[in-house]
């Protein structure tokens, strides 16, 4: 495959948080130390080589950065301090911007000011819509308190209207992310002429389901045992997030009630568990990124911080909202609800299709594609081996 050497690729990757890697002398230590390396998937030296040589086209169709578990073994043992692990993360950011056909992601990753401005504008829009379609509890606030002492939240911000907003936003975001995944498929599978995937293979690979979607088993091979806590908390955070997301998008009517239910009611229990997951996870990752004692939290791009801070503010306002409502403070409830939405909506709009959040979608899909490619390649080599043996 002939391709043009791109001399600006290096400078471009610096904007995505890459560190200097010119000191790499291609010794292959990173590949050998990596527990995800198999024959055919040369990890991560192949990617480093592509960057060093400025092979933009190869880099854009490269799936390897998505398979990286960021355990940091390669960076820790790298004899040149070239930080291959951090580079994989930078390339992930770069790939997110490549898969995003709108080009918005590229702009947001490259400019801190633009990202903050977008957040502020979105927050302003949310505020205007909120003030237009909800009612401020004014005058005699006693009428906003329910019989059980809780604030009547559905009188102020009826769940049906919020739900409508949810669905409109979710629809847009889903559309964007699906098209992005399609573009990812185009780059990784379609443009790679060495792999011919038949239609049936897409279903065959699903038989490997547990291997594809639960790669955590592989993490156990990693040398860094400290990472067990890291990955458990990451899983807890992701599950809590998914639970909260499902509840709010699909069951808001069940979740946002005027009546204060008993503490052991599933509504409150589920809410508390997922909030705990979010809160503990965020605090842990925040401290990790500040202390920088682990290889995978040594370097932080500003988008990493944006995601963490927005998620933290969302969780915090959610917790405050809950207590203001329970203890019957209607005005505070109303304002906190506004702030909650003002943080939540920009977070989802920016992070889901254009930034860090999208790894939740891209990573499972990349594992799926990787197994697909691997299966096809293996079959191919198997046939070749057989034919050579017969000869």
Partner 1 sequence: MDEKKSTVVYFCNTFNGDTDVINIPEILAYTEKLSGVSKVWLPADISLSDPEQVARKIKMNNLTRIVIAGSNPGMYKSLFSKSMVLSGNNPEDVFLAGFTEHGALNKADTPRAKAIVACAVFGVPFEIAAVHEELSVNPDTLVIGGGIAGIQASLEIAASKNKVYLVEKSGTIGGHMAMFDKTFPTLDCAACILTPKMVEIGQHPYIKLMTYCEVQDVKGVPGNYTVKILKKARRMSLATCIGCGICSEKCPVKTTSEFDAGTTLRKAAYIPFPQAVPNKYLIDESVCTYVLSGKCGVCVKVCPVPGCINLDEKDEVVEIDVGNIIVAIGFKTFDASKFEQFGYGKYPNVLTSLELERLINAAGPTGGKIAKRVQDKKGNWVFSPDEIYSPKSVAIIHCIGSRDENYNKYCSKVCCMYSLKLAHLLKEKLPDSEINEYYIDIRAYGKGYEEFYNRIKNEGVNIIRGRPAKVEQYGNDLIVRCEDIERARMIEQKVEMVILAVGTEPNTDSAKIAKLLGITVDANGWFNEYNYISDPVNTFTGGIVIAGVCQGPKDIPDSVAQASAAASRVLQSIANSRITNSIKDLSLEQIETKVKELSKQLEGQL
Let me know: does 58 contact 117? Beta carbons within 8 Å.
no
69 binding partner 1? (CB under 8 A): no
Closer CB to partner 1, 37 or 97, in the complex: 37
Total site size for partner 1, rule CB under 8 A: 20
Of the listed pieces 72-80, 90-98, 132-140, 333-341, which binds partner 1 according to CB under 8 A?
72-80
Q: DSSP secondary-structure letter at 41?
A: B
38 binding partner 1? (CB under 8 A): yes
28 binding partner 1? (CB under 8 A): yes
Please, which of residues 74-113 interact with partner 1 by CB under 8 A?
77-81
Shortest distance in whole angstroms from residue 305 CB to partner 1:
27
> Can you tell me the distance from the alpha carbon of 192 to that of 373, in angstroms, rounded to the nearest whole number?
10
29 binding partner 1? (CB under 8 A): yes
The CB-side HSE value for 302 (13 A sphere, CA atoms) comes to 11
42 binding partner 1? (CB under 8 A): yes
User: Among 347, 372, 326, which residue's Cα sits nearest to residue 202?
Assistant: 372
Please select the residue that binds partner 1; options are 17, 21, 37, 347, rule is CB under 8 A.
37
User: Among 76, 79, 69, which residue's Cα sits nearest to residue 28?
Assistant: 79
Shortest distance in whole angstroms from residue 82 CB to partner 1:
9
Please select the residue that binds partner 1; options are 16, 17, 21, 33, rule is CB under 8 A.
33
Please select the residue that binds partner 1; options are 16, 18, 21, 45, rule is CB under 8 A.
45
> Can you tell me the distance from the alpha carbon of 316 to that of 327, in angstroms, rounded to the nearest whole number?
17
293 binding partner 1? (CB under 8 A): no
330: burial class by Cβ within 10 Å (0-12, 13-18, 19+)?
buried
Closer CB to partner 1, 289 or 298, in the complex: 298
39 binding partner 1? (CB under 8 A): yes
Q: DSSP secondary-structure letter at 256?
A: S
> Can you tell me the distance from the alpha carbon of 260 to that of 149, in angstroms, rounded to the nearest whole number?
8
Closer CB to partner 1, 39 or 389, in the complex: 39
User: Among 356, 359, 334, which residue's Cα sits nearest to residue 347?
Assistant: 356
Closer CB to partner 1, 42 or 284, in the complex: 42
385 binding partner 1? (CB under 8 A): no
Please select the residue that binds partner 1; options are 1, 27, 114, 242, rule is CB under 8 A.
27
> Can you tell me the distance from the alpha carbon of 233 to that of 276, in angstroms, rounded to the nearest whole number?
11
Shortest distance in whole angstroms from residue 81 CB to partner 1:
4
Length of the chain: 391
Of the listed pieces 26-34, 224-232, 351-359, 363-371, which binds partner 1 according to CB under 8 A?
26-34
Q: In the chain, how many H helices and how many E strands?
A: 20, 0
Please, which of residues 191-230 interact with partner 1 by CB under 8 A?
223
12: burial class by Cβ within 10 Å (0-12, 13-18, 19+)?
middle
Let me know: does 172 contact 353? Beta carbons within 8 Å.
no
Of the listed pieces 29-37, 292-300, 304-312, 357-365, which binds partner 1 according to CB under 8 A?
29-37
Name the 3-class secondary structure at 145: strand
- Angle among Cα 343, 335, 122 to the nearest 5 degrees reads 30
Please, which of residues 6-25 interact with partner 1 by CB under 8 A?
25
Closer CB to partner 1, 42 or 213, in the complex: 42
Q: Which residues of this protein are in contact with partner 1, per CB under 8 A?
A: 25-29, 31-34, 37-39, 42, 45, 77-81, 223
């Amino acid at each position: 495959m002939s391709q043009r050497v791109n001399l600006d690729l290096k400078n471009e990757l610096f904007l995505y948080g890459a560190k200097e890697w010119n000191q790499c002398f291609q010794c292959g230590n990173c590949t050998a130390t990596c527990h995800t390396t198999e024959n055919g998937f040369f990890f991560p030296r192949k990617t480093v080589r592509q960057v060093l040589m400025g092979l933009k086209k190869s880099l854009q169709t490269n799936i390897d950065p998505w398979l990286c578990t960021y355990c940091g073994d390669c960076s820790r043992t790298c004899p040149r301090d070239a930080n291959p692990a951090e580079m994989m993360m930078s390339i992930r950011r770069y790939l997110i911007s490549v898969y995003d056909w709108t080009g918005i992601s590229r702009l947001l990753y490259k400019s801190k000011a633009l990202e903050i401005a977008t957040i502020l504008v979105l927050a302003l829009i949310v505020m205007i819509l909120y003030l237009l379609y909800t009612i401020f509890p004014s005058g005699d606030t006693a009428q906003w308190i329910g019989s059980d002492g809780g604030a009547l939240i559905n009188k102020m911000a009826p769940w049906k209207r919020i739900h409508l907003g949810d669905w409109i936003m979710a629809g847009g975001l889903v559309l964007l992310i699906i098209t992005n995944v399609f573009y990812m498929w185009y780059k990784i599978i379609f443009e790679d002429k060495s792999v011919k995937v038949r239609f049936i293979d897409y279903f065959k690979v699903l038989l490997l389901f547990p291997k594809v979607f639960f790669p955590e088993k592989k993490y156990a091979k990693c040398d860094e045992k400290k990472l067990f806590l890291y990955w458990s908390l990451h899983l807890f955070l992701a599950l809590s997030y998914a639970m909260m997301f499902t509840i709010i998008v699909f069951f808001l009517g069940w979740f946002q009630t005027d009546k204060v239910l008993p503490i052991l009611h599933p509504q409150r229990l589920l809410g508390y568990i997922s909030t705990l997951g979010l809160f503990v996870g965020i605090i842990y990752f925040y401290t990790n990124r500040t202390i920088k004692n682990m290889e995978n939290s040594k370097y932080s791009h500003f988008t990493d911080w944006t995601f963490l801070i927005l998620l933290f503010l969302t969780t915090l306002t959610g917790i405050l909202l809950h207590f203001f409502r329970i203890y019957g403070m209607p005005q505070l409830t109303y304002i906190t609800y506004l702030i909650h939405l003002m943080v939540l909506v920009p977070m989802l709009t920016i992070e889901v299709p254009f930034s860090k959040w999208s790894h939740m979608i891209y990573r499972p899909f990349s594992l799926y594609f990787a197994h697909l490619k691997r299966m096809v390649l293996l079959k191919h080599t198997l046939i070749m081996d057989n034919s050579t043996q017969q000869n």
